[in-house]
Amino acid sequence: MTAFTVALVLVVAAAGLLRWRRPAWYWMTFGVTLASLRVLVRYASVMDACGLTVPPPRWRLALARIANRPVPDSRPPRILRFRPTRTGLVLRLGLRPGQDAFDVAAASDRLRHSFSMYGVTSREVRSGVVEVRMTGYDVLKRVQMPAKVDTRPMRVPVALREDGSVHYRDYRAVPHALTLGATESGKSVYQRNLVAGLAPMDVALVGIDCKQGVELFPLARRFSALADNPDTAADLLDALVSRMEGVYQLIRAEQRITSAVPDAEIAADIWDLPDDIRPVPVVVLVDEVAELALFASKEEEKRRDRIITALVRLAQLGRAAGIYLEICGQRFGSELGKGITMLRAQLTARTAHRVNDETSANMAFGDISPDAVLAAIQIPAETRGLAIAGDSTGGWHRIRAPHTSLRQAVNTCNRHADRTPALPELAPFRPELVSSSEALVPLSKTAPVTA
């Protein structure tokens, strides 16, 4: 008996310790079983208390009256599927007549408290079926990406969503993206995760980093072209535009369309070409975009116009030629001059890290979703890397990328350096590579700045 009590105390203490220090481990060991039991046992009464039940149908009431049986209870939505996951529970519910997905969404906070879960979100799967995702702990506090993710070409698992699912950056579905956030909010870490995710894929990476290259130059071995100042950036973007025109000529030649057809009307893209002649897709990463749009003299103004025009052309026509833009900045509004709002309209995927004012959040979500604007302003300053990711459909999620250090990203890029394609049009911008012993010197100097 004493041995049993000691063992019980030890187990409870271990569970308490795990729950406090390692919530993910606690969930996998004890949490998932306890939460499953709690949800299944209390399901009917919680649904009733949360106003998610409907009265029995008339025929059952009539049958009960005829048979002189007690009046049947109100019925909660049917559980179609119950699935424990690495971070929580997923319930698929079949709605009863008269219920809608909004009822479940509106009750999600009540469900969260009633089932003692950390978070509850719901979405409609199809007519009459709603999926309720519950998380057992704060999955964004210490982001751990699942070991098994759904990998496809040009689709990077870049962050974790608050409901425990993986947030993908899918270049073929949403070609261009804008990432905003105040200084020290986590933009460069997010971009670093993207680079590390893209490194093992068949893709050319092009970087423009006007912070003197401190973020992207350490990753140079996986980059086909890099620019660290606006002058080089202007030439690099012009070279990309000519590459895009070259790719269109190739597609047109393959389609055997007359040369009188303007570029924008070509319906096909590089993915329709046979594998052996398909040009390699290019992802252009721009960090601190405002630096490209600022000018102090007439000369610089001309350069700025050249840069913005090239970016707008790439954003408008680049997708079919396999050129994708990934733009990061602190603000990206009309105060940066003409052409900026036009460029922003082409950047479909929006991500906002912590912003200091509503105007900055509006630059990301003002034209998409007012709720997302509010959520972006409410991100606390201490949880760096937390962001709101939205898309043009009006949907948005709270996401956080794993904290990939510069050293980890450098290692990933170096491991896949042999995949770096040499693009002839961008040859003048190919970064000069130094030997690894030399590379350690600048890296060790920049590491503390970004860590």
Select the span of 31-39, 115-123, 250-258, 399-407 touching ligand ATP (CB under 6 A): 399-407
Gap between the Cα atoms of 159 and 401, Å rounded: 4
| CB-based closest residue to Mg ion | 188
Considering the complex, state which of residue 157 and residue 181 has its C-beta at the smaller distance from ligand ATP.
181
Cβ proximity to ligand ATP, 117 vs 401, nearer residue = 401
Contact pick of 87, 114, 188, 224 for Mg ion (by CB under 5 A): 188
Q: Taking CB under 6 A as the rule, does residue 351 contact ligand ATP?
A: no
* CB neighbours of residue 288 within 10 Å: 19
The one segment of 45-53, 176-184, 225-233, 419-427 that binds ligand ATP by CB under 6 A:
176-184
Residue 52 · residue 115 · CB < 8 Å: no
Q: DSSP assignment, residue 448?
A: H
385 binds ligand ATP (CB under 6 A): yes
88 binds, among Mg ion, ligand ATP, none (CB under 5 to 8 A by kind): none
The minimum distance between CB 215 and Mg ion, in angstroms, equals: 6
Nearest to 430 by CA among 204, 198, 242, 212: 204
Q: Which two tokens stand for residue 41?
A: 């046992």
Q: Are 325 and 286 in contact (CB under 8 A)?
A: yes
397 binds, among Mg ion, ligand ATP, none (CB under 5 to 8 A by kind): none
Classify residue 48 as exposed, middle or buried by CB count within 10 Å of its CB (0-12, 13-18, 19+). Answer: middle
401 binds ligand ATP (CB under 6 A): yes
User: Strand, coil or helix: what is 64?
Assistant: helix
Residue among 188 and 224 whose Cβ is closer to ligand ATP = 188
Residue of the chain from 73, 100, 184, 301 that contacts ligand ATP (CB under 6 A): 184
Give the span between the Cα atoms of 130 and 105, in whole angstroms.
9
Question: Residue 76 binds which entry of Mg ion, ligand ATP, none, with Cβ cut-offs from 5 to 8 Å by kind?
Answer: none
Which residue in 352, 311, 348, 345 sits closest to 330, CA to CA?
A: 352
CA nearest neighbour of 198 among 158, 227, 234, 238: 158
What span, in angstroms and rounded, lies between the C-alpha atoms of 159 and 173?
17
In the complex with Mg ion, which residue's Cβ is closer, 188 or 412?
Answer: 188
Smaller CB separation from Mg ion, 175 or 181: 181
Q: Which stretch binds Mg ion (CB under 5 A): 77-85, 182-190, 406-414, 431-439?
A: 182-190
Q: Which residues bind ligand ATP (CB under 6 A)?
A: 181, 183-189, 330, 384-385, 400-401, 403, 450-451
